[in-house]
Amino acid sequence: MGYDMQEGTVVRWLKAEGSQVEMGEAIAEIETDKAVVEFESYASGILHKILVSEGTTVPVGQIIAIVGEPGEQVPDVETATAKQPETKISEEAIPPMAEPDTQAAAPVKESIPAPVATVRASPVARRLADENGVDLAAITGTGPGGRITKDDVLSYVESSRQAVAAPEAGVAGAAEAAPATPAPVAESVSEALGSMTDEAQPAAAPATPAPVAESVSEALGATIDEAQPAAAAIELPAAQAAPTPPPQAATPPPTPTTVEAVPAPEPEVAVTSSAPGTAELRPATQGEKIPLSRMRQQVARVTIRSKQEKPHFYVSSEIDMTEAMALRRQINAAMEAEDVHTTVNDMIITACVQTLGKYPTFNAYYVDDGVQMNDGINVGVAIAVEDGLIMPAILDCGGKSLKQIAIASKDLAERAQRGTLHPDEYTGGTFAISNLGMFDVTSFIAIIQPPQTAVLAVGTVSKRPVVRDDEVVVREVMNATLSADHRIVDGAQGAQFLVEVKRLLETPMNLLL
């Protein structure tokens, strides 16, 4: 489900053993770095055997089930699974395209890889847990089948913070009973923590400050190695341990009522947003190293590959959208009864599809010995989801009308948010459009999605004063920038492509023909 996918998690089996399945029928849901997608059967027949249980993460290439003809002898499980890696699954332990061990076969019970103990959680829930240093095993999931959701993690983090919130007198009282020298240290602890319950304070401070420093870090939510449980094998590496502050100057041995600790910085609360309307709180400290989520790691791999392999060039133009916006209002009024709503992006997609038919090299991709043309036009659309950004494709756009594209675009966006994309939508794009107009962005340039050849970046449609027939008039204008692979097309061809898109949008009746 992508050139760089290395492993996936079997979220749910849609068919039971003994069920009849057809070729192309969804039999399981697989969680990837970006979404939960339906896994389709390669053949028709009977689902004789399921080899991987729900919640198990397995590498690409591992057998997860056996489908055969009715009454057919099921292949020996030992033969079918002896080639699969039996090591504990993790991104570090299993390199891409690793060759399986094909040596002597082991008994059946030993040849089937033992399921890795995992907690069922959504990708965004796992990322939030990593960022907040939360053990998913401690959270009760409220999602389908007990799956942990984003709200479950946020609720757990909030309840944990409330548990350590109390009057500051607990720390202050302990500080008053301390000897003269350690007193300022105790006060600084009080300032750093803000508040703490009496239960959170140790009855007697240990002789060395290190354990107390750990309790301070836990109260702050700091992600130091000593304060966190060991991460599961399938999780990303935990955040790098925070540097241990230097020990305080030598002071008299503390009494049983003394609270001695290394001063800790006051925690900052950072707000991050990965999609419109979503904001996530996490504890952050100055100089902190935040680990990348699985999605951010994939975005890093894709963009690095694109910039290293594809010599990008860019052409930009202003497009007068006045007539297109007027036509859009008329279309939406006419189709209101059908509950069909045409967006600006739908009109841009339609214009690009018609232009790709005229300039098909922009719908191709580069191979070592030439330029490979795609069979159809599949337009990828950048969609912001809860955990980041994905670019699923509207398939077979070549024969679709503006109305059909509007319906397909809405359906694609809704299923992307629910995480129910099909694998071919996830990876089948041949051209892409990235629209940041809803964020009031005037113009920008986009990075090409491999192995595609081009992507069109469009900004907001806004009213601007322009010169028409030697007069200054107000028109609705949009900026568009085409990013293209210079190995396949040249600047002049890029200009011709963009001018054709501009012509279609400025004379929008052509979009309906």
C-alpha distances (whole Å) from 331 to each of 218, 313, 437, 438 are 58, 36, 21, 20
Looking at the DSSP assignment, which residues form a beta bridge with residue 13?
A: 28
Q: Please give the helix or strand (H or E) that residue 176 lies within, else none.
A: helix 169-176
Report the alpha-carbon distance of residue 150 to residue 129 in Å, rounded: 9
Task: Give the span between the Cα atoms of 39 and 47, in whole angstroms.
Answer: 14
Provide DSSP, 9-45: EEEEESS-TT-EE-TT-EEEEEE-SS-EEEEEPSS-E
3-state SS assignment for residue 174: helix
Distance (Å, whole) CA 434 – CA 457: 5
Q: What would the 3-class secondary structure string for 67-85 be?
A: EECCCCCCCCHHHHHCCCC
486 is catalytic: yes
Three-state SS annotation for 272-290 = ECCCCCCCEEEEECCCCCC
Written as six digits, the tokens of 419 are 């995480």
CB 362 within 8 A of CB 356: yes
Residue 344 main-chain phi, psi, to 5 deg? -60, -40
Measured distance CA(465)–CA(213) in Å, rounded: 62
**From the CB of residue 178, how many other CB atoms can be counted at a distance below 10 Å?**
22
Positions marked catalytic: 486
